[in-house]
Chain A
Amino acid sequence: MTETQEAPAAGTKPLCEVRGVTHDFVLPNGKPLRVLENINFAIQPNEVVALLGPSGCGKSTLLRILAGLIVPSKGEVYYRGELLRGMSPGVGFVFQSFALYPWLTVRQNVEVVLRAMHMPNDTLRERIQHCIKTVGLAGFEDVFPRELSGGMKQRCGIARALAVDSEVLFLDEPFSAVDALTAESMRAELIDIWAAAGRNPESILMVSHDIKEVVYMADRIVVLGSNPGRIVKVVENKLPRPRDYRAPEFLKLTDQLHDIITGHEIPDAAPGKAPQAAAIEPIPNVRPNMVVGLLEYLDARGGREDIFHIAADTKSEFGAVIETAEAAEMLDFVDTPKRAVVLTEDGKRFVKAHPNARQALWREHILRLKLFKDVHALLEKQPEHTLDADHVRELIVLHMPHEDYSRMFRDFIGWARFGHLFTYNEHKGRLRLPDAHIEED
């Protein structure tokens, strides 16, 4: 089952399409948080499209908008050229968390979606059996999901999606909760199912943060950028199937995607760029220990490494590694020329230092960021050296209205605690200068 799929012909009508889609989530404080901005793209018949991007770029939201699970704040969704209202007709949806009903057996989990389609009894049984066999679950029909491994659960999820005979199969990070080796075989099986001529699903739309996975599976790779989510680039993948992970073309395409992502996510500073003194820098969603871990990692490898190599080596998601590198760069502990991460002199000093000295260095470096500097200055001015947490939150909201302020406040506190810059009492909601610092003054 390995015939090559034809590239979509120019004149065919797209299966699914979004035009000018923008989506906002409402934050707990009532302010909108933009997750997607002005997205235009279409899925043609007979192709596998992947949405690739770091976590938080809104790719799962976009998938749900195309499937009709979420109504976008702005813009239109079309299915076969018609404006979509409600759920998209004929959608098979595979969830990252499987979303199987734990009180139903494998067979019943498939059966229930067919019953929802009012399928007559005689064809129903046959169909269930066929789908379960296709995904390799034969013999497990009467088993409850809790008795299955992650990979087996997802097979059941795929069987359920195949059962409705959908034209488009929507996969939301289908293999990220499945162990690596199982995922490997399931990718190949899924492509075989799709490639079987004359059958649904005609096309597959998948969301992933695994670059190798999308190069292996997709004909078109839509790279999304974050804050807010938007399309950075669409990459055609014309590699013949079956694809070989070690083929030079495969590696070349992987490399190309690496460059697109790093070029977008951590652009090299333009020479002579004036430092933006007045602006408050957003604090990345990174824990201090991850930054320290990155520095230690680099130090143990001669102070320089490719960012995607780090991600693969530490089995982390590349988005998380990029964000960690960005955080380290904000603190002047690393430089990020192109795809490399390089330890700076300050970074080397930090790695070599004793725990107490590390804390002092961390404190010194976060105080170079405006938010920490301002809050610290204000705390010093207060007679009791305390400050209500809400004022910091307010400051974050005022300067960065499109960020999730509670998340950023959490990270702000985490960074400050790590450097023992202030203490924070969660119950009272108060920041305080540590006594040692007060006595110094």
Chain B
Amino acid sequence: MAHSNTVWGTASAFLDHARKIRWIDLLIVASLAGMFYGLLMLQSEWTSAASPAKEPIDLSPWALPKYTLYSLSRGLIAYLFSLAFTLAYGYWAAKDHMAEHLLVPMLDILQSIPVLGFMPGLVIALVALFPNSHVGLELAAILMIFTGQAWNMTFSFYHSLRSIPKDMNEVGSAYHFSAWERLKWIELPFSAIGLVWNSMMSMAGGWFFLMINEAFTLGDRDFRLPGIGSYMSVAVEQDDKSAMFWALLAMVLMIVFLDQFLWRPLVVWSRKFRIEEGGARDDTSSWVLDLLRRSWLVARVAEWQARRQNTRFARSQNATRPVQPPHGGLRTWLATLALLGLVAVLLYGAWRLALMLLVLPAGQWTELGTAALLTLGRVLLATALGTLWALPAGLAIGLNPRLSRILQPVIQVVASFPAPMLFPIAIAVFNACGLELGWGSIVLMLLGTQWYILFNVVAGTLAIPHDLQEAAQSYRLSGWMRFKTVYLPAVFPYLVTGWVTAAGGAWNASIVSEYVTFQKHTDAAWGLGSTISIACAQNNFPLLAASVLTMSLVVVIFNRLVWRRLYHLAETRYSLSK
């Protein structure tokens, strides 16, 4: 008995200690205050400048925390826009069957338009709207980040809404849920996990063009906003190696910070929405979330929230609930109106675009076609090269439980690092080796996209059922046969996802890979990406529109013809769910 008493003794001692953790509450208060201060700083930055012009960038490392904060807040504000867009657009597409036929293909096209395609229009319009402050330029930068974030989140939400099990929806109908209650109790919880994962991916995608979003030239006009991206651009321009190093470090820290303080807690939290029971595989944890759950402050806020819910619930119980009409007449009418409005806008846009494109000579179009094929070749080569090393490496990592536990979060962080920030280093290496940019651009594309392949292969390998591996072992399949009959087919669906993501990234990257500025010297490799960059730099709007249109056409056609078929093959033939 004495033995067990000491156990309880130490246990209770620790318990008392644990309840006294108030510093976490202090930290929460401090960080809330910090956020408030940051907002104030942001506000002054937005409204301070007299005109949207080139701002001097301070290359001292001490200026970086402020710049990091600016870039971070742009990313977060863009994310909020993306989330709002996702919820509205995804909901509309999933609920309105007539609009669905237009909205889904449109999303497909939007996804294929490179960020730079949106830039000139956005910048010119917004700067004209706010001529006397940074607001227009800031909004333009935020919207450009938004265009790198929103689409895959929207797709995820739309697909979740469409794949809600029938019985869950029937519950909603049987108990007369209103549309809001349906969203709150069924639709949002069901899509939460996909939405969180895609948000994480989107945020990473949004950083990709940070250097361009914060510092760009349009014709003879030079725009620059304070942030990590512009800091890096200026550092590259002035060939300041230590400043480049500090910028890279700041970027890494920002990504790790977001991962630890935002995404990881959200991922762990969202696990409570998983549908299947059990599932022992997933054991990620978040120390931040654990701390928050211990916080006294958070607990009180949660209690207050619960009480408020209760009183509201009691109130709504007292009121008799009107029975919802099956089809709100007004709502259908409004939806039709919105759809018609959208169609009108699209038709007008198409008309204007056609007018603009008519200016281009026919020879330009064939040139664009050749450029597109050239870039397509580069994209495919980059994807193939990435597969060549990432497939075996991913398998090796996935098959080794200890290695995968350590490396998986690392790969995730590395994958969210914006590769263009590494381009200056890569180009310095090319120059030293005498590698032409035509080939070098493939390596540049690879820098950003290979991680998607690696990441997906690791995930796929971790999902291979143990008995299939045991069967391979007991029948002594040799290394190559094991790869061919077990591992490759088992990870194939994941590999296809990796390819699609990587190729999409490579198309986007072609714009900055085929046209690079290094130490005030610009180098271009002929291709569709460089054509877009050059058109943008020369303010040649017809060419820009034509090249962006070509790219999005090629991407959409390639998706239809190749990736979709591979997806279908993966689903029917190589799916592990029987």
User: Chain A: residues with CB nearer than 8 A to chain B?
Assistant: 64, 67-69, 87, 91, 93, 95, 97-104, 112-113, 115-117, 145-146, 160, 164, 170, 278, 374, 378, 381-382, 384, 387-388, 391, 394-395, 398-399, 427-428
5 A-B residue pairs with CB within 8 Å? A101-B489, A112-B485, A145-B578, A388-B15, A398-B7
Contact, CB under 8 Å: B578 / A69: no
B449-489 interface mask toward A, CB cutoff 8 Å, 1 = contact, 0 = none? 00000000000000001011011011111100100011001
Contact, CB under 8 Å: B477 / A113: yes
Known: A115-B481, A116-B475, A391-B15. A427 touches B293 (CB 8 A): yes
Which residues between 479 and 508 of chain B lie within 8 Å of chain A, taking CB atoms? Answer: 481, 485-486, 489, 492
Collect the chain A residues with CB atoms within 8 Å of residue B478's CB.
Answer: 116
Q: How far is the CB of A4 from chain B (nearest CB, A)?
A: 31
| CA–CA, A391 and B294, complex, Å | 16
Contact, CB under 8 Å: B476 / A87: yes
Contact of B470 among A95, A394, A398, A427 (CB under 8 A): A95
Asked if B406 CB lies within 8 Å of chain A CBs, one says: no
Which residues between 201 and 218 of chain B lie within 8 Å of chain A, taking CB atoms? Answer: none
Contact, CB under 8 Å: B15 / A164: no
**Chain A to chain B: the 4 pairs with minimum beta-carbon distance, closest first:** A99-B467, A113-B475, A99-B471, A93-B474
Collect the chain B residues with CB atoms within 8 Å of residue A391's CB.
Answer: 11, 14-15
Asked if B573 CB lies within 8 Å of chain A CBs, one says: yes
| CA–CA, A112 and B477, complex, Å | 8
Contact, CB under 8 Å: B7 / A103: no
| CA–CA, A384 and B7, complex, Å | 20
Contact, CB under 8 Å: B578 / A382: no
Collect the chain A residues with CB atoms within 8 Å of residue B272's CB.
Answer: 427
Asked if B174 CB lies within 8 Å of chain A CBs, one says: no
Contact, CB under 8 Å: B485 / A104: yes
Total chain B interface residues with beta-carbon distance under 8 A: 34
Contact, CB under 8 Å: B475 / A395: no
Asked if B370 CB lies within 8 Å of chain A CBs, one says: no
Collect the chain B residues with CB atoms within 8 Å of residue A93's CB.
Answer: 470-471, 474-475
B8-24 interface mask toward A, CB cutoff 8 Å, 1 = contact, 0 = none? 10011011001100000
| CA–CA, A395 and B12, complex, Å | 12
Collect the chain B residues with CB atoms within 8 Å of residue A117's CB.
Answer: 476
| CA–CA, A339 and B15, complex, Å | 46
Most buried by A among B11, B293, B465, B475: B475
Q: How far is the CB of B71 from chain A (nearest CB, A)?
A: 33
Contact, CB under 8 Å: B481 / A116: yes
Collect the chain A residues with CB atoms within 8 Å of residue B481's CB.
Answer: 112, 115-116
Asked if B574 CB lies within 8 Å of chain A CBs, one says: yes
Contact of B467 among A87, A95, A387, A398 (CB under 8 A): A95
| CA–CA, A100 and B12, complex, Å | 52
Collect the chain B residues with CB atoms within 8 Å of residue A97's CB.
Answer: 465, 467
Collect the chain A residues with CB atoms within 8 Å of residue B574's CB.
Answer: 102-103
Collect the chain B residues with CB atoms within 8 Å of residue A103's CB.
Answer: 489, 492, 573-574
Contact, CB under 8 Å: B471 / A102: no
Asked if B575 CB lies within 8 Å of chain A CBs, one says: yes
Contact, CB under 8 Å: A102 / B15: no
Contact, CB under 8 Å: B485 / A101: yes
Collect the chain B residues with CB atoms within 8 Å of residue A112's CB.
Answer: 475, 477, 481, 485
Collect the chain A residues with CB atoms within 8 Å of residue B475's CB.
Answer: 93, 112-113, 116, 160, 164
Interface contacts beyond A67-B474, A113-B477, A116-B477: sample of 14 additional A-B pairs, CB < 8 Å, sorted by A: A95-B467, A97-B467, A100-B471, A101-B489, A103-B492, A112-B477, A112-B485, A113-B475, A116-B475, A160-B475, A164-B475, A170-B474, A381-B12, A388-B15
Q: How far is the CB of A400 from chain B (nearest CB, A)?
A: 13
Asked if B410 CB lies within 8 Å of chain A CBs, one says: no
Most buried by A among B1, B293, B294, B476: B476
Known: A103-B574, A146-B578, A378-B12. A69 touches B485 (CB 8 A): no
B556-578 interface mask toward A, CB cutoff 8 Å, 1 = contact, 0 = none? 00000000000000000111101
Known: A101-B486, A103-B573, A388-B18. A394 touches B7 (CB 8 A): yes
| CA–CA, A69 and B11, complex, Å | 42
| CA–CA, A427 and B470, complex, Å | 35
